[in-house]
Amino acid sequence: MRRLNRKKTLNLMKELDAFPKVPESYVETSASGGTVSLIAFTTIAFLTIMEFMVYQDTWMKYEYEVDKDFTSKLRINIDITVAMRCQYVGADVLDLAETMVASADGLIYEPVPFELTPQQKELQRMLQIIQSRLQEEHSLQDVIFKSAFKSASTALPPREDNSLQSPDACRIHGHLYVNKVAGNFHITVGKAIPHPRGHAHLAALVSHESYNFSHRIDHLSFGELIPGIINPLDGTEKIASDHNQMFQYFITVVPTKLHTYKISAETHQFSVTERERIINHAAGSHGVSGIFMKYDISSLMVTVTEEHMPFWQFLVRLCGIIGGIFSTTGILHGFGRFVAEIIFCRFRLGSYRSTSVPLPDGHTSNHLPLITDNSTH
């Protein structure tokens, strides 16, 4: 009884066999089949290598949602050098929501020479080249996101020369915490003083001839400070052509959550437009000389996530490549063989076409004449 059940089970499994065996006597090899097989194997190997490279690569996924965080503070990271002495300039933030001056105690005023060392010039030139490439090819931003914390810092290296050049500029660097509302960070003549009706600077004691708002922005970012991230204004240098000149930067800040395989941080991206003009009240160009960075916070938040192809998807694509190449080459080989057989068959029929032989009674015969012994003599 058990043997009978085993036989039934074995017969059932044989009936379910989707790969019937072909006798070896039916298998025929040919030179054309071997050539097509070699091409198929080479194509499969090449596509497999390319698919493995795609599997190793990652890409950035962007998701957008409304930013519901209105209570937290916004950090502003600043490193700007102005071509004026530190006692002549002052930097602060005007919060437009509360119409009050935010404290700028987190900033450090450091007297430095405005001229850069050769090493610092080389880094600044490299940053400017990267900025120009980023404006042309926006996809490079994904590369910068993935290389965060792995690449070197974008800050200028410290001065290593022992020159006796006297400090003629002021480096303002540090960070500030402000409300997440629109505001205006500015550097102008004179130190900021508290005023019950608004905003004022002690500029009366500084002569107009000493005004020089040529500046270099070594770093400006919003949110958590992430080494390796290049921001739109890093490496910017502006030279003033007049004493009474205003430089304006209009900035739109977008909250960003960055999740990669290396880091997970909350930072901010921003876009900027620039404008500069000379203050001339007689010509109708009003304002105050200085550097003004007016920023606004976007209501949308971007989540940037680094993604990788799943392993199962890689296997499915690999099986599709192997099966597809075998099926396609088999079809093409069969079609080519069919066409070749038709052409050669017609050629053979033409070579053995019958000739007409006259008969004694005046008729013709289309059959080939028989070769006999008498015909050979």
pLDDT, one tens digit per residue, over 103-148 is: 556 788 989 888 888 888 888 888 888 878 777 766 666 666 666 6
| pLDDT value of residue 211 | 86
| pLDDT value of residue 350 | 60
50-81 pLDDT tens trace: 888 888 888 788 888 888 887 888 889 999 99
Domain ranges (residues) in the chain: 68-298
Running along the chain, 377 residues long, what does each successive block of 10 average in pLDDT?
A: 69 68 65 78 88 83 86 88 89 72 72 85 83 71 62 58 72 88 87 69 74 90 82 89 90 88 82 88 80 91 86 89 85 79 69 53 52 47
In Å, how far are 220, 225, 330 from 35, measured between CA atoms?
Answer: 62, 60, 12
